[in-house]
Amino acid sequence: MNSLPDRLESGSAYPLGASFDGLGVNFAVFSAHAEKIELCVFDEGGRRELRRYELPEWTDEVWHGYLPDAGPGMLYGYRAHGRYAPEEGHRFNPNKLLLDPYARKLSGPVRWTDALHGYQVRSKREDLSFDRRDSAVAMPKAVVVDEHFDWSRDRKPNTPWSETVIYEAHVKGLTKLFDLVPPRERGTYAALGHPKVIEHLQRIGVTALELMPIHAFTQDRFLLEKGLNNYWGYNTLGFFAPEQSYFATDTQHELRRAVRRLHAAGIEVILDVVYNHSCEGSELGPTLSWRGLDNATYYRLLPDNPRYCINDTGTGNTFNLTKARVIQMVADSLRYWATSFGIDGFRFDLGLTLGRENHGFDPGAAFFDVLRQDPVLGRLKLMTEPWDIGPGGYQLGNFPPSFAEWNDKYRDTVRRFWRGDEAQRGELAARLAGSGDLFDRRARRPWASINLIGAHDGFTLADTVAYEQRHNEANGEDNRDGHSENYSSNWGAEGPTDDPDINDARARVMRSMLTTLLTSLGTPMLVAGDEFGRTQHGNNNAYCQDNETSWLDWEQARSPAGEALIDFTARLTALRRRFPMLRAGNFLYGDGSPGQGIDDLEWWDERGLQLSSEDWDNPQGRALVMRRSVRLETGEIESVTLLLNACPEPLMFRLPPPDGARIVMIDSARPDQGEIEVIHHYEVGPQGAALLTWKMAVE
């Protein structure tokens, strides 16, 4: 742009953000309490402010203006004028350049300085003081973009929930060390669509790639000062802009192309999104965007003292999803990612926070209603983390229909059962059967339970069987951070060992956990690298480890042990696809018979006896047999039988009646064993799991 006009035209209040129409750019930003908002235009380097315009119109609490002859590539920010009255919840300070909440692209990082705060950091009056320094030089700038992309030939996989297998991964960590990807693309969006990455995902039967946060985020000041980084990205700066550090190229189409290639391979893309809080922290945090535009609207504040933020998230602030414009921002962001980037679903970090009304969590909260009725969002896969740290902050099973939920009870029960804890048999049965005790209401289905044995937050699968204590010293918090109870066992030595018996036990238990996961009703979630035994060396909170602690080691994946576990995982997912009973679409309670006196779900013990109430209550019961049966279109009855032995010694199982030949499909204690036929009995090794199948004709 060679010259800038003297003033803005009135423009339109819709849509919010900066919208290029071919002739100019419309700017629209919400603020209910500002007295004036200025648009600041910067040079292409983002360091020199070229012009400042007052937005001329205020419609329905949206400030707007139109800049003729402006176009893609222009850098801009806002300054908001109004009352600086923290004790009333208002923190306007026009000396602070503010990022557009709807910015589609960012230029430059946050450069930490005290000038980013609206108050004088070292003042005795703390945030009641007022800072007059210009923060523009330290602020990233929003960039106007042209987002046209041809999606006409894209075909979304639309995988049914009951057939979904999720793979949680970090964009950078997944491919940073993957030598089969070109060096320039490693750790970037481009690598997600690389044929070798897709080949691996297909090999292990993944149907959905769930990416940890890719919304633009900040590097926390306290981490940078310790020489660390915010690796996970749960500290959002912009809900519409992709994180720039993950690009290998200068175009955002890189991400769109990766999504298209994944779709072509039958793999959906799900984003882990963080709408419960922002990177601005508590009332003592910086003024970067929402705080300076309308603190009293965007954030939940203490009713009796709005100077202070409500902190139900543990990050210092909480977005106020009881406000229509805040809900609109989140819904607009979700819709933007779904339509502009082809995203197939979302996992909501601390999703409970999004359903908080003034009286507490409400499954009928406006935010959930907005998503469920939306013609775009209501058709996507929606998952939630059903907890936060606020009052009543654990609501597993209480979200509305159309939402799936991370099931930590599943994780803890599976870990405790295979560790050999007492009194786990009944609890495990409930988790294997899809956690109907939690989810069977309001027409929900077993897929609502996201079954996991690990996640980014906590021990990896390999560390669950190698460490009994967390080892987070590298995080610089004196090993106080992260979960203190991981329900893990090291099986005789803490960390790496040369003892073959310990290593055999660890490998066996990993295979047994994977067998449990992929034969349970519900939606299984694998964590990237668990399929080949990735370790974080006992770090169960590697949020700041942007290094080989967190990155996938593809050399390990190609080792004999890594290849063997990958093959075992692939066999399990293939069995899950082959036998519909392993992914039944409805809850089973043993009250539906396919014929011949056989029920759809039955429970037995190692003696071949159905469990009595006393057996269920036996704290020493560490063996369990689950049989699921269905009548085929051919008229035959087909069953799958899962034998679980959490005992430290082998156990001979008497197979449930009726008598007949069974085929052992997979055995975690004998991973190299092919399919074999057995008749009445089958021995399962210590901490072992086996899956058997059989058919019978209906008389």
Q: Give the catalytic positions in this structure.
A: 349, 385
Instruction: Write the CB contacts of 336 (distance below 8 Å, at least 6 apart in sequence).
Output: 240
* 617: phi then psi, degrees, rounded to nearest 5: -85, -5
Could you tell me the two tokens for 534?
């990735």
Query: How would you write 618-649 as a 3-class SS string?
Result: CCCCCEEEEEEEEECCCCCEEEEEEEEECCCC
> H/E/C letters for each residue in 165-210?
CEEEECHHHHHCCCCCCCHHHCCCHHHHCCHHHHHHHHHCCCCEEE
CB crowding 215-228: b at 16 or more within 10 Å, else e:
bbbbbbeebeeeeb
Residue 213 DSSP symbol: P
| Beta pairing class for 90-91 and 84-85 | antiparallel
Q: Which residues of 116-148 are buried (b: 16+ CB within 10 A; e: fewer)?
A: bbbbbeeeeeebebebebebbebbbbbbbbebe
> Helix, strand, or coil here: 415?
helix
Order of all β-strands in the sheet with 106-107: 49-54, 36-42, 75-81, 141-143, 106-107
User: Taking each helix axis from N to C terminus, what angle separates 366-373 and 324-340, rounded to the nearest 10 degrees?
Assistant: 30
Angle between helices 425-432 and 408-419 (to 10 degrees): 130
Do the beta carbons of residue 167 and residue 201 sit within 8 Å?
Answer: yes
Whose structure tokens read 């890719």? 214
Q: Is 574 exposed, middle or buried (0-12, 13-18, 19+ CB in 10 A)?
A: middle
Contact 76, 40 (CB under 8 A): yes
Nearest to 691 by CA among 522, 436, 511: 511
For the chain, the helix, strand and coil percentages under 3-state DSSP, each to the nearest 5: 25, 25, 50
Token representation of residue 477: 């918090």
Residue 594 is encoded by which pair of tokens? 């396919």
Cα 164 from chain centroid (whole Å): 15
Q: How big is the chain by its Cα radius of gyration, in Å? A: 27
**Contact residues for 508 (Cβ-Cβ < 8 A; gap 6+):** 668, 669, 685, 686, 687, 688
For residue 519, what is the enclosing H or E element? Answer: helix 500-519
- The answer to whether the Cα torsion of 45, 46, 49, 53 is positive or negative is positive
Q: What is d(CA 652, CA 644) in angstroms, rounded to the nearest whole number?
A: 11
Give the other-Cβ count within 10 Å of 618's Cβ.
16
Residue environment code for 443-456, b if the CB has 16+ CB neighbours within 10 A, otherwise e: ebbbbbbbbbbbbb
* CB neighbourhood size of 331 (10 A): 17
Q: What letter represents residue 140's amino acid?
A: P
